[in-house]
Amino acid sequence: MTQRFYSHGKLLITGEYAVLDSALSLAIPTTYGQSLSVTKINSGHLTWKSYDEKGNLWFESILTFEELSSRKKPVRKNPVEDSLLKILRDARKYNPRFLATTSGYSVETTLEFPPSWGLGSSSTLINNIALWADVDPYKLLWNSFGGSGYDIACARHTKPILYELKKPRPVVKEIDFRPPFSKQVYFVHLGKKQNSREGISHYRNMDFDVRKLVSEITRITKQILQCTTLSNFEILLEEHEHILSKTLHLPTVRETLFPDYNGLVKSLGAWGGDFVMVTGNGEFIRDYFKNKGYHTIVPFDEMVL
């Protein structure tokens, strides 16, 4: 018998960085995600195979039950194996019944998007393992990669969400977010994988009024939900960009890469990489960004669940 689990990818529309300080943030589960299948076998170990979006095997490992139950630091030379071992060990710690049968398992994961897209290859994996192990996915995340946890919330939901970081449990509310101008909203991949930990570290080293930032971003998030026109949507998110630019002491992505673009260009998640959200006429958007060397352009209605 094979068990199957699935988690959705994520994009953070409002609240980048400020979500860490409990700003109300708008996030969207994506149509792209990651699956995990588990089959019990009589091998005496755990066989792990991971496939990319093209069906190519990119990672393979055999883990012993002795390794999985050990408290010693992993000695594998592959950092991917080390991370996997840590996640599985943490899952066992939270649920001692997990992987209690030592007859063997065959595990396969399959991504539906390139890892470079930054849609959550780690968060979808952690959530799938949490589903398999029947443990709290937020604890599993915070004990391994850290972060706000909004990506875990996206992995587990099938509609856009409002996310507010609270401990011990975040506040998550599903909402309807399909604005009437959605056909004029696109996501463009910048082709640069951003290191979220570095972005968070930079944010934490800034000196600013946290309460003011959280209040401003929360206000914008609430107003975004009331937008009925593209122009109001653009004004609010331009304001969001300038607030974060001032907080981080970094130029906006428009100022850096697209100063001549006539429309919204908004960073998503950690600044400097992954996707940006842009607005305008579809044909113009494709021509403009392809001429700039950016060829991954996904319409809102194809990206958002």
- What pLDDT does 75 receive? 66
202-208, long-range: CB within 8 Å, 24+ apart, which pairs? 202/248, 203/17, 203/20, 203/247, 203/248, 206/247, 206/248, 206/249, 208/247
- Mean pLDDT value across residues 186-205: 84
If one counts the domains in the chain, the total is 2
Expressed as residue numbers, the domain containing 208 is 182-303
Query: Are both 55 and 162 inside the same structural domain?
Result: yes
User: What is the pLDDT confidence band of residue 70, given thresholds at 50, 70 and 90?
Assistant: confident
Tokens linked to 169: 């449990």
β-pair type (45-51, 105-111): parallel
For 42-57, write each residue's pLDDT tens digit.
999 999 999 999 999 9
* CATH classification at residue 270: 3.30.70.890
- Mean pLDDT value across residues 107-125: 95
Mean residue pLDDT across the chain: 93
**Residue 194 pLDDT > 70:** no
**Residue 196 pLDDT > 80:** no
Query: Are both 145 and 221 inside the same structural domain?
Result: no
- Mean pLDDT value across residues 141-169: 94
**Residue 245 pLDDT > 70:** yes
- Mean pLDDT value across residues 18-31: 97
- What pLDDT does 74 receive? 65
For 257-304, write each residue's pLDDT tens digit.
999 999 999 999 777 668 999 999 999 999 999 999 999 999 999 999
Query: Are both 170 and 190 inside the same structural domain?
Result: no
User: Is the model's pTM score more than 0.85?
Assistant: yes
- Mean pLDDT value across residues 210-233: 97
Interhelix angle 79-94/121-133, nearest 10 degrees: 30
